[in-house]
Amino acid sequence: MIASLVVLGLTVLGVLVCSKDRDPVLGDLDPKEHPLKILYPLSLRIYELTKKLGKQGIFGAEDVLREVYVDEKPEISLKKQGCKCIASALAVLVATAFICFAYAYSKEDLLVQKKYLKREQAGGGVEYFDLSMNTKVTETLNMLIKVSEQKLQGEDLEKLKADAGYYLNKNVLCGNESADCVRGKLNLPGSIPGTGISVKWDDDNSWFVAVDGTLKNGDYTDPVPVTLHAELTYYENVWDYYYDLVIYPPIITEKDAFLKELNERLTDIDVETQTEELYELPESIGDIDIDWEEEEDNTVRNFFIMGLFAAGIILPALKKDLKVKQKERTEQMMKDYPDIISKFIMLITAGMTCRAAWDKICTDYQKNYTRENADKTKKKARRYAYEEMIISNNEMQLGLPEIRVYERFGSRCSVSAYNRFGNMLARNIKRGSAGIIETLESEAKESFAERREAVRKKGEETGTKLLIPMFGMLILVIAIVVVPAFSSFSF
């Protein structure tokens, strides 16, 4: 505590003394980069001291500062850096000293006047104090001293007895309405909470009440008055406690009586027919007839219902799976679209016609991606865009007009990009090939931009999906750090 006061006092005094210092370096500082500017006058004094000792290099290398602060002289940058480092260190020292001082001031001393230990109040229990001892005949020893709770006497003891009686009067009945009519279990505590009083119940009434408070009134026909007796002990003080009550037989409903008689009858039948092959169930108990039935086995019915339910969800599941595949097809076709346009541009620029370029693209695909050699090449056999192009190529070989083939290709793909591509080629056949290359190049640029955007969205979706496991990992890390910390505390 004294060291904390010294650090706080010297820092405050140094700031006050050095606050009048004026230095050009301290006049133009960025508050964001230098938030501890108030400590810089004192820090500058300490920096000048380190400079005289030739130790200013500990704050940073001049060549590094020259690269970082290109618009300042190295010595100015080094001075600012030194003040920043020293001010940060002072701020940490001041904060530490303040926390230490606050903790020491708020902590209650164990020793009062260096020779007293404060007891817990009555009912607070035993407390242990860890102290060190110095004497002439021994070295410094650590002692664990046991201090019992405060013992009451006089008027305080009488009040404690009254409170104990009040507690027992309130809690012994438990769920029973009154002491004049007790039919359920009683509460016989072994101690009075928060007082240090132990309670020992006499077993004189064990014929009527068990040690745990359970009543033995199953065979009663008339009410029985009972006086409970307990011995309360507080240190060497012992006194008696009495509680009068009337125990009544339990209320037996018609159902309880019937079940009791039935169980007794079933036990008798089991003994009587033990040597026979069949066990005959009773048809009645008294004037109450009994109809015996097997418990219904619902396994078949439940299994059938489950089958109906499974059959009912197949169609929605298949439709959903189809939608997923359709989406995957569209994504795959959009992924292949820039490559197809680029190949088309390259082949047309080389002098091929649209039909020849189309046929060339289909031929190359068939060589590399046919289903027959898919296992050998380890490549995915089906690429939907190329498959649609093969269908269109076959249509042209069968004599279908080229314009019609391109238009059918665009509508069959059901993707806007391919629809534009098909219409573009159809217009080229109608109006001539002038400007087709420029149009295709523009389309290629746009398609590559769309593919980049699609990849970016896919990455964002993937990142969003990863948030849940990352959040789970964060909770796990916090638990690993926090649980041991809390378990080390003693409450």
Structural domain range at position 453 = 325-467
The answer to whether residue 238 is domain-embedded is: yes
Q: Are residues 73 and 183 in the same domain?
A: no
Smallest Cα–Cα separation from 447: which of 414, 409, 413, 420?
Answer: 420
Q: What is the mean pLDDT of residues 112-130?
A: 66
Ramachandran class of 279: left when φ > 0, alpha when ψ lies in -120 to 50, beta otherwise: beta
In this predicted structure, the answer to whether residue 186 has a pLDDT above a threshold of 80 is yes
Q: Is residue 217 within 8 Å of residue 185, measured between CB atoms?
A: no
C-alpha 182/C-alpha 224 separation (Å) is 10
Q: Are residues 445 and 391 in the same domain?
A: yes
Q: Is residue 347 within 8 Å of residue 356, measured between CB atoms?
A: yes
Look at the chain and report how many structural domains it folds into: 4
- Helical spans, DSSP H, in 286-401: 299-349, 354-369, 374-377, 384-397
In this predicted structure, the answer to whether residue 168 has a pLDDT above a threshold of 80 is yes
**DSSP secondary structure, 121-180, as one string:** PTTS--EEEEEEE--SSS--EEEEEEEPPPPP-THHHHHHHHHHHHHHHHHTTTT-SBTT
What's the confidence (pLDDT) of residue 487? 67
Q: Are residues 424 and 375 in the same domain?
A: yes
Least confident range of 209-213, 237-241, 317-321, 461-465: 317-321
Burial of 219 (0-12, 13-18, 19+ CB in 10 A): exposed
The answer to whether residue 46 is domain-embedded is: yes
Least confident range of 5-9, 253-257, 464-468, 483-487: 5-9
Cβ neighbours around 195 below 10 Å, total: 18
Q: Mind listing the pLDDT tens digit for each residue in 215-231? A: 877 666 788 888 888 89
In this predicted structure, the answer to whether residue 469 has a pLDDT above a threshold of 70 is yes
What's the confidence (pLDDT) of residue 72? 62
Report the greatest alpha carbon distance in the chain: 122
114 — pLDDT class (breaks 50, 70, 90): low
The answer to whether residue 130 is domain-embedded is: no
378 — pLDDT class (breaks 50, 70, 90): very low
What's the confidence (pLDDT) of residue 182? 86
Q: Are residues 45 and 26 in the same domain?
A: yes
What's the confidence (pLDDT) of residue 3? 66
Q: Are residues 342 and 242 in the same domain?
A: no
What's the confidence (pLDDT) of residue 377? 44
Least confident range of 241-255, 264-278, 440-454: 440-454
Of 22-31, 262-271, 453-462, which one has max mean pLDDT? 262-271
Q: Are residues 235 and 281 in the same domain?
A: no
Q: Mind listing the pLDDT tens digit for each residue in 396-429? A: 999 899 889 988 888 888 888 888 888 888 887 7
What crossing angle do the helices spanning 74-106 and 2-18 adopt, rounded to 10°?
A: 140
279 — pLDDT class (breaks 50, 70, 90): confident
Q: What is the mean pLDDT of residues 421-447?
A: 77
In this predicted structure, the answer to whether residue 70 has a pLDDT above a threshold of 50 is no
Q: Are residues 356 and 450 in the same domain?
A: yes
Q: Are residues 262 and 225 in the same domain?
A: no
What's the confidence (pLDDT) of residue 491? 45
What's the confidence (pLDDT) of residue 121? 67
The answer to whether residue 393 is domain-embedded is: yes
Smallest Cα–Cα separation from 362: which of 331, 329, 330, 395?
Answer: 395
The answer to whether residue 137 is domain-embedded is: no
Residue % of the chain over a pLDDT of 90: 1
266 — pLDDT class (breaks 50, 70, 90): confident
Boundary of a domain, candidates 273, 289, 305: 289
Cβ neighbours around 112 below 10 Å, total: 10
Q: Are residues 332 and 434 in the same domain?
A: yes
The answer to whether residue 319 is domain-embedded is: no
Q: Are residues 262 and 232 in the same domain?
A: no
Task: Give the helix/strand (H/E) hosting 407.
Answer: helix 402-413
138 — pLDDT class (breaks 50, 70, 90): low
450 — pLDDT class (breaks 50, 70, 90): confident
Q: What is the mean pLDDT of residues 168-189?
A: 86
In this predicted structure, the answer to whether residue 379 has a pLDDT above a threshold of 60 is no
What's the confidence (pLDDT) of residue 380? 52
Q: What is the mean pLDDT of residues 139-164?
A: 77
Higher pLDDT, 370 or 77: 77
C-alpha 19/C-alpha 40 separation (Å) is 9
C-alpha 375/C-alpha 379 separation (Å) is 7
C-alpha 460/C-alpha 462 separation (Å) is 5
The answer to whether residue 14 is domain-embedded is: yes
Q: Are residues 462 and 392 in the same domain?
A: yes
Higher pLDDT, 304 or 463: 463
Higher pLDDT, 223 or 375: 223
Tell me the sheet residues that pair with 182. Answer: 247
Burial of 388 (0-12, 13-18, 19+ CB in 10 A): buried
What's the confidence (pLDDT) of residue 108? 62
Higher pLDDT, 128 or 268: 268
Q: Are residues 192 and 235 in the same domain?
A: yes
The answer to whether residue 128 is domain-embedded is: no
C-alpha 295/C-alpha 313 separation (Å) is 32
What's the confidence (pLDDT) of residue 381? 57
Residue % of the chain over a pLDDT of 70: 74
| Residue with the two structure tokens 């201090």 | 147
Q: Which long-range contacts (CB under 8 A, 24 or more apart) does 231-237 make?
A: 231/199, 231/200, 231/202, 232/161, 232/164, 232/192, 232/197, 232/198, 232/199, 232/200, 233/197, 233/198, 233/199, 233/200, 234/152, 234/157, 234/160, 234/195, 234/196, 234/197, 234/198, 235/151, 235/196, 237/157
Smallest Cα–Cα separation from 60: which of 77, 46, 45, 72?
Answer: 77
What's the confidence (pLDDT) of residue 251? 73
What's the confidence (pLDDT) of residue 348? 84
Q: What is the mean pLDDT of residues 245-268?
A: 82
Q: What is the mean pLDDT of the chain?
A: 77
